[in-house]
Amino acid sequence: MLAKKNSSRDRLINELKEGAKILEDQLRLMDEKYIELRNKLDWTRQHSQKEVRRIQVRQQCVLSSAGPLLTLPPYSRRRRKPHDCVQRCSCPGQRTT
């Protein structure tokens, strides 16, 4: 009877060890997925911050080149295409067409 009891305990211990190993593997996989997702999030955040800064510089350039035009009274403003100021912008790193 004692041998049977020890055998059932050994079986239970082995089952628990196998369960623990499965849980460890799942946790390791989840850690890898978390790191991968975190890297994607960091890249997206950096990319969007760069894009926002680029657009802010572009906006400042357009506003500075249209500044004198905006101070004129409405009836004396020359008619321009909306993208005319953007095309003439000579900010560093910006394309001019």
pLDDT of residue 63: 81
What residues contact 88, with CB distance under 8 A and at least 6 apart?
A: 65, 96
Per residue of the chain (97 residues), give pLDDT as tens.
888 889 999 999 999 999 999 999 999 999 999 999 999 999 999 999 999 999 999 988 888 877 666 665 556 555 555 555 445 555 555 554 4
Distance (Å, whole) CA 22 – CA 19: 5
pLDDT of residue 2: 84
